[in-house]
Every structure is written in structure tokens, then in C-alpha cells.
Amino acid sequence: MEDEDLLSRMTVREATHDDYQAVMNMASPDTFRDGFDYLPAKFHGFVDDPDTVFLLVEVDGEVVFIDVECLQESGKTIYGKTIRVAKRLQGRGFYKAFVDATNIMYFCWDATPMKDRLTDAQMSLPALVPYRPTETHRLLPPAFSAAVLSEGTVFVDWVPYKLSESNMKKLVEASCYILVDSNVPTAKSLSFGGSYMTPRGRVYHIDIHCKDEALCKAHITNHVKNACSQYTGMITFCVMVIDKGLKDVVMEFCVQYLHFRHLPHDHAYFHAYLDLETYWNSKMTKPVSKSKY
């Protein structure tokens, strides 16, 4: 009875820029992952992005739930970016997850000192080059996906993308820093990087797709060097590896060689979906615009 009463008072709609403060009040970005929350920096971009659906759930006019979904392949595929649930409604079955995880590690480092250490590391590691559209032919053959990727999917700042020429173009246009090794005829590694501000400071994400230890270290080193060329002061690096066997390699390299400080925020990221069927069938639920589909 309690759940039925809650459902009758519930409305679902797309978020607008005017919802920013109400969403922040519910999402608690200052405490979410100890302050390493990207939502304040990316909220307005989510609202404006034609390939993102930003759903907001209200009960009696109060924001209690948000779900950000990324549309791909002209709306044929949808991936969950983030959800947030008001504390008083957590554990009520709003959300279902399926297991498909990637390992993520957090490290903190002052960009000012020890830059020479990055140069020394580069000299002993495989060479990487910034991705260019002319490099696409080395990434699209089935050999690369079969050897490196999971179902032909790459992950960029938590979001999965099918590896395709159009998606790579989209990521380049979004100013994503993309690196690839020089192996021919087929590349053996690919990585993506970028940064944003959080309540606790700057975060730079490094998303590595490879199975080779030396290449993994090379991608980390090059992305850290790129970050240090743009920013000063303390930077938190969020390192994602899709190969579970590289987790210990990343930990040892970052802590023992680069002297990063390991932060207690490691986790496996589970790609998930929201069960909206109940919302669509609710008499009190307002229809969501299909303009973004």
C-alpha cells in the first residue's frame, strides 16, 4: 500500500537547467564519493546534449531520483551514465543492474614536481601517438576488437561506446584526448582522457583498452604528462582498465614508480539500466518527450 501511494504521487519528466539546485540538493555532490562527483560540472551539458536523456522523478514536487542515459546509434542503443536516489527512497527497487564491470582506481598527485619522472618513463616504454581519423583503419578490423575489447565496446569517462568511425569522430569533436600505439596493421591499444572539476578539485579520467603491461604504463604516462601540461596543483587521476589482469600493474606503477597517492575510492563500475515500465504505466506519470529519440 505504501509503494502504491508513493507511485500515485510520482511524476517523471526531463530535467531542465532550472532543476540544477534541486538536483544538487538531492544528489549531495559534496559527499558523493567523498567529493569526487562530476555531476555539478556536467549537469548543464547533460541537459543540452541531444544524445542524452536526463530523466527526473518528483514526489509531491520534490526531486527524489535522476537517471542520465546516453543514446547511441540513432537511439537504438541506450547506456546508463548515472543514477541518484534520495536517501529516504534507497532500497525501494527503483533500479536494476546487470553485471558487466570494469575496474577503476583513483590516485592523487601534485602536477608541479617530479615531471622529469614522466619523461624518464616515456623513454623506456612503447611509443604512442595522438589519434587521428586516418588511424581508424588500424582500430576497426575485427582483430582489434577480438583481441582487446569486450563486444567491440570502448569506455570513455564511464560511458560505453561501440567502436565506430562515427563515435570516434564524436569523441574527437568533444575534445577527448585519444592515444593509440603505432603497431601495424592493427593497433594493440587505445586510451581516452579528459578532465572536469569536482567539489574536491580537478579529476582527470584515463580509460585504457589494452592487454599489454608496457602499453598500459605508456598510456598512463602520456595522459599524466598531458594533464600536467594543462593544469597545476593537485590532480586526481581516475584510471579505468578493462583488462582485470592489469589492475595490479596499474597499482604498482602509479604508487611505486610515479609516487602517486592511492585513494580509497576503487570500485568496479557496473553498467546498468533503469526499469521504467512502472513509471510509464502509472496514471500519474507524465509522458517524457521523445524529441531526443
Q: 285 φ, ψ to 5°?
A: -85, 125
Side-chain half-sphere exposure of 237, counting CA atoms within 13 A? 34
Domains in the chain (CATH in brackets) are: 2-94+275-281 (3.40.630.30), 102-271 (3.40.630.30)
Q: What percent of the chain has pLDDT over 90?
A: 36
Tell me how far apart the alpha carbons of residues 4 and 152 are, in angstroms, rounded to a whole number.
Answer: 42
Q: What is the pLDDT of residues 4-23, one digit of tens each?
A: 666 678 888 899 999 999 99
Residue 89 has pLDDT above 70, yes or no: yes
Q: What percent of the chain has pLDDT over 70?
A: 76
* Alpha helices for 163-212 (secondary structure H): 165-173
* Alpha helices for 253-293 (secondary structure H): 277-281
Show Cβ contacts of residue 144 under 8 Å, excluding neighbours closer than 6 positions: 138, 163, 186, 187, 188, 190
**Confidence band (pLDDT; 50, 70, 90) for 77?**
low
**Average pLDDT of the chain?**
80
Residue 186 has pLDDT above 60, yes or no: yes
pTM exceeding the 0.95 threshold for the entire prediction: no
Residue 54 has pLDDT above 70, yes or no: yes
Tell me how far apart the alpha carbons of residues 135 and 129 are, in angstroms, rounded to a whole number.
Answer: 10
